[in-house]
Structures are given as C-alpha cells and as structure tokens.
Amino acid sequence: MKKVKQFAACALAGSMVLSAVGCGGTSPSGTGTETKAGSSAAAESGEPTEIRIWTKASGPDQGIQKLIEAFNESQNEVHVSYEYYGENYASVVQMAISGDSAPDILECSGGITVQTLAKQGKLAPIEDCLTDEIKENYNPSAFTPEEFYLDGKQYAVPVRVSAYRLLYNKDLFEKAGLDPAAPPKTLEEMREYAKKITEAGGGEAYGFGLPLGVAQIWERVIDPISYATSDVQRYGWNVGTKSYDFGANKRYFEYYTDLMKDGSLFPGYLTLGIDTLRANFAAGTIGMYIDGNWMPGSYATQMDTKCNWDAAPLPVFEGDKADKYWAEGGVNWVVTNGKNVEAAKKFYTFWLSNQTIANKYMPVPRNDNRANALETLGIEDLKLQGVDYSFKTDDLDIPKFEPHKFISLEGDDRNAVFTNLFAKAAEGADISSALDEAIEDLNKRYTQGLEDAVSEGSIAESSVK
C-alpha cells in the first residue's frame, strides 16, 4: 500500500504530514500509533477524541482543510484529521472495513455505495445530524436518491452538486471570429465552432477536447445530454420504460466520430487523460470541452490558468429541448459504526452546516444553497472564472435511482465498448454494423445484469419497476 498523506490541523494550521505523528492518528496500514480513541477513553484522559476521515481525492482539498481547522478550533472535545488516497481508494477502504480498521468517516465513491455498507452494518444512521436549518437550506433533491436509505433510515446526505457543463475558451472564440458571449446552444453549432477554432489555431489550438483516456468518458459527454432531453438516463437506462436502451446513445457516439473526422479534436485523444486535457485547456490550446461544474475552483486554486474561459449549458441536437440536467450528490460522506460514532456525528453536523467556509477556499457547487451565493465565493481574491453558470443549481436533477451502480456486468461495460469502437473508427474502419451489434449486446448484458441484481437482492424490485 502506498504511504498515505494525511492532513492534520495541529498547532500549525494546514500543515501536511505523511503520518499521524503529533496528532494521534492511526496509519491505515496499521503501522502508525494507535488513535486515542473511544469517547469514554477521551473523557477519562481529558484529551480529545480523534476522528479520522478518508477521501478519494488524489491530493489535498484546502476547503476541507479549512473547515476541519474551524471545527477543531471551535471546541476541544473532538479533533479531526483527514487522509486522501486517489486511485487506490476503493481497495484501501474495502481492506480496512474487512479488517475492522475503518476510519470514523469515509467518502462513498469509486464503486463503494452507501447501501452496500449499510447492509453490512458498517454505517450509523445520520438523521439526528440533519437539523431543521440544514434541511431548510439544502437543495431538496439532495435527499431523494434511494441509495442513501435502508429500511427507512438515512445514512448519507451529499454535499457537492456534481454536474457537467460546456467549458469554452473565450480568447479562442474571438480569434476564430466567434462571439465569446454566445457559446453554442446546439451540437450542430458546436461542430461548426470547433472547425473554425481549429482552423484559426493553425496547429496550435483545436476546437474540442475528448479525453478517451478517461475510463468513464462517455458518461461525461453522452449521458448528461441524453438525460437533459429524454427519458434515457446514464448508461442507457430508460426511466420511462424501465429498460436499457443503448440505441439512444448511437447518434451521440456518431457525433463525436464526426468531430474526429473533421480534424477538430485535440491530438492524442485516444489516450488523452483528464489532467492533461485540463492543463492544455488552461494553457489556451483547447477551445471547448465538457467537464464538471466544480472546475472554477480547480482552475483558480490548483492550476496556472492563462486563458479567459466560461461555462455554459450542454449543447443539444437541433429540435431537442433540455428541461433538466443530470446531477449527482457528490462527496457522500458517511459515519462508520465504530466506537467514535457520537464524536464523528458532531463533526458531521458541523460539516453540513458550514459549507460556506469550505467554499471560500475551494469553491464548488454545493447542496447548501447559502454556499453557492456568488458574493460568498471570493471571486476577486481567487480570480474565479466560469462561476455564473457553474454555480447555478436550480436546473439540476439528482436521479432517484441508477441501477448500473449495483450491477455486476459480464464483459466490457458501455464505456470500454464505445472507446474500442472509436479507436477503430479513428483508424479508418467502417464500424456501422459493429456499432449496431455492440448496442444490441449491451442491451442484453445490462438487462441480464439487472435481472441478476434483483434476484440476488442487490437491487430492490420496487426500484426498477
């Protein structure tokens, strides 16, 4: 296991350490000093109860750090620190839970679901953390997903509102003779804009960035647009017919192959990763791409962003109407059912109630509506861009249930299938018949996976009927 990085709010606020030395934490591998844990032990010793948080982030989040610092300074009964794991997160959490060494609070992501842990008896319900003030100020859709509940008890509430937007470079728009205040509203317009930006770029800038090196790329560039205009949600799930319909993905997939044939894609797209794409967008070499509404904070605080950019609604095909946009309640922290439950809940309540603190340092759209007010974001201090639409949340819809999260699929998933086909198209192959066959096969395999999940009890039949 790679050595964990841990944030700890010790004497020097915000200092980053590579172990728990000085703050009484426990190394996830079991090699560190044992936490001065249980509430009773803390009461007897007169020292604070140590609470550990694990997150999937690949690096420090200054917003989380500042919020933890504020909590630690507000009282002396509980002390909180957090650790981040990146790509290894899911395996680290599973090992810790299996070995009964889980942290006090953890993030459910990377394939780790709230319901799965709740069914295993590993989580504590958090209804008593949800004060009337929290409920009143939170986006109502944050409480709708079925996956946060088990047997009538609630085990999580999401903080961030994760959604996708069109990000575009206003400088490259101007250079190509396009109006930087008028981003494309249709996919047809976006294709034409991409051609013009590529032509004006002269080999130094390109119209669109498609990072096929991202395993989940198609849930970024197809699913949110389909969700906005139809009953077909992510991974081909038709919420109207309660069946899989990957045929609805076809025209979007063909659209991106057309961008490729036009020569409008940033080079290296078959292996392009999201970090490399973002770096090139920040450097001013990509005209448009689709990314999360959390990027204003990332570009302002974590990257050397040289271009003027903005965010806009996702373009749709001519004749289609977007009446909602897919969103996910990101950062679903849960309280584990260990010896420090009450102390962990104390911080959990503080965390939900004080997202404005985090947003001053790492601005992302949050379910706490107060935290999204533009005047609270420090726009001038952080030199934020793209905030007007990124922080608009009243057009977002968090799905009630997404079955693909609970399906064990035989064979490649939709993302791998589509990326492999795209690679063949990039080589000049005619993939028309192969695409149709792949769609038919995906429908069959996802349907079978759904039936298996229902029969095994991973999905309640009432959720998909």
Write the pLDDT tens digit of every residue in 419-432: 999 999 999 999 99
Q: Does 68 score more than 60 pLDDT? A: yes
Q: Does 147 score more than 50 pLDDT? A: yes
Amino acid at 464: V
- Assess whether 53 and 122 both reside in one domain: yes
How many helices (H) and strands (E) in the chain?
18, 16
pLDDT of residue 12: 29
SS3 for 225-286 is: HHHHHCCECHHHEECCCCEECHHHHHHHHHHHHHHHHHCCECCCCCCCCHHHHHHHHHHCCE
Rounded to an integer, the average pLDDT of 111-123 is: 90
Could you tell me if 445 and 246 are in contact, meaning their C-beta atoms sit under 8 angstroms apart? no
- Assess whether 66 and 92 both reside in one domain: yes
Residue 292, in any domain of the structure = yes
State whether the Cα torsion 359-389-147-88 is positive or negative.
negative
Could you tell me if 280 and 366 are in contact, meaning their C-beta atoms sit under 8 angstroms apart? no
pLDDT of residue 292: 95
CB atoms within 10 A of CB 420: 14
pLDDT of residue 412: 97
Q: What does the angle CA 362 – CA 366 – CA 370 come to, to the nearest 5 degrees?
A: 100
Q: What is the mean pLDDT of the chain?
A: 89
The size of the chain, in residues, is 465
Q: Does 352 score more than 60 pLDDT? A: yes
State whether the Cα torsion 228-222-302-366 is positive or negative.
positive
pLDDT of residue 42: 53
Which of 300, 287, 220, 289 has its CA nearest to residue 252?
220
And the tokens for 182?
A: 């008028």
The DSSP output letter for 368 is B
Backbone angles phi, psi at 3, to 5 degrees: -65, 135
Rounded to an integer, the average pLDDT of 185-190 is: 98
- Assess whether 421 and 335 both reside in one domain: no
Amino acid at 30: G
- Assess whether 41 and 101 both reside in one domain: yes
- Secondary structure of residue 124 in the 3-state scheme: coil
Residue 383, in any domain of the structure = no
Q: Residue 366's beta-bridge partner residues? A: 160
Q: Does 16 score more than 70 pLDDT? A: no
Cα(9)–Cα(78) distance, integer angstroms: 12
Residue 394, in any domain of the structure = no
CATH of the domain at 203: 3.40.190.10
- Assess whether 253 and 104 both reside in one domain: no
Cα(445)–Cα(439) distance, integer angstroms: 10
Any idea of the CA torsion for 99, 101, 103, 108, to the nearest 10 degrees?
A: 0
Which of 87, 141, 145 has its CA nearest to residue 114?
145
Residue 75, in any domain of the structure = yes
Cα(41)–Cα(426) distance, integer angstroms: 63
Q: Residue 329's beta-bridge partner residues? A: 161
- Assess whether 411 and 436 both reside in one domain: yes
The share of the chain scoring above pLDDT 70, in percent, equals 90
Rounded to an integer, the average pLDDT of 372-401 is: 91
Residue 76, in any domain of the structure = yes
- Assess whether 336 and 321 both reside in one domain: no
Cα(391)–Cα(365) distance, integer angstroms: 5
Rounded to an integer, the average pLDDT of 98-102 is: 89
Residue 395, in any domain of the structure = no
Q: Distance between alpha carbon 299 and the CA centroid of its chain, in Å?
A: 16
Residue 389, in any domain of the structure = no
Higher-scoring residue by pLDDT: 442, 112: 442
Neighbouring residues of 100: CB distance < 8 A, sequence distance ≥ 6: none
And the tokens for 238?
A: 């038709």
- Assess whether 45 and 73 both reside in one domain: yes
Amino acid at 23: C
Look-up of token digits 């599973």: 94
The DSSP output letter for 199 is H
Write the pLDDT tens digit of every residue in 425-452: 999 999 999 999 999 999 999 999 999 9
Q: Residue 105's beta-bridge partner residues? A: 53, 335
Could you tell me if 322 and 316 are in contact, meaning their C-beta atoms sit under 8 angstroms apart? yes
Q: What's the domain count of the chain?
A: 2
Residue 56, in any domain of the structure = yes
Instruction: Give the H or E element holding residue 457.
Output: none
Write the pLDDT tens digit of every residue in 228-251: 999 999 999 999 999 999 999 999
Rounded to an integer, the average pLDDT of 296-310 is: 93
- Assess whether 41 and 85 both reside in one domain: yes
pLDDT of residue 6: 40
Which of 368, 399, 462, 344 has its CA nearest to residue 163?
399
- Assess whether 296 and 421 both reside in one domain: yes
Tell me which range, 7-11, 45-49, 134-138, is most confidently predicted by mean pLDDT.
134-138
pLDDT of residue 44: 60
Q: Does 275 score more than 70 pLDDT? A: yes
The share of the chain scoring above pLDDT 90, in percent, equals 73
pLDDT of residue 39: 44
pLDDT of residue 139: 86
Which of 114, 132, 130 has its CA nearest to residue 122?
114
Q: Does 140 score more than 90 pLDDT? A: no
Backbone angles phi, psi at 23, to 5 degrees: -130, 5
- Assess whether 289 and 350 both reside in one domain: no
Domain of residue 96, residue span: 5-157+331-372
- Assess whether 144 and 177 both reside in one domain: no
pLDDT of residue 236: 97
The band of 123, judged by pLDDT with boundaries at 50, 70 and 90, is: very high
Q: Does 35 score more than 80 pLDDT? A: no
